[in-house]
Amino acid sequence: MWLLIHLVSFILLVPITIIGLTRKEEKRIAQWLILDRFLYLLILISGVILVIRTFQYSPVLISVKALLGLAVIALIEIAFGRKQERSLASGLVWTLAIVLILTAGFGLWLGWGH
């Protein structure tokens, strides 16, 4: 159940973040950021529970996945902050996309392939 909550929240995070970062009005950007933060909460809660349950099996890999997840959240926060300041750089967007794909791939590999 926790893995499903984690996966669904992460899957929803992607389009909500894209929509939020493509909005022009600051009020609309803030609304999508609030939705993102709600999903962070779900991801963090389910992630902590998953880490507690699986850490004993592969502590290094689980730690790497947790750090990647936190990096995604930090990059999204930075991107929204820059978007609200009207200075969102494409380099930040590409970095976010790459870290997001690495995190998702690593998480799927840990969940089903490892």
At 16-40, the pLDDT tens digits run 999 999 998 888 999 999 999 999 9
* Predicted local confidence at residue 110, as pLDDT: 84
Angular region, 58: left φ>0, alpha ψ -120 to 50, beta rest: beta
Reported as a pLDDT band with limits 50, 70 and 90, residue 113 is low
68 residue type, one letter = L
* Predicted local confidence at residue 15, as pLDDT: 96
At 51-93, the pLDDT tens digits run 998 888 889 999 999 999 999 999 999 999 999 888 888 999 9
Domain coordinates of the chain in residue numbers?
2-113
What does 1-22 look like in DSSP terms, one character per residue? -HHHHHHHHHHHHHHHHHHHHH
User: Rounded to two decimals, what is the model's pTM?
Assistant: 0.90
Q: What tokens were used for 108?
A: 């799927």
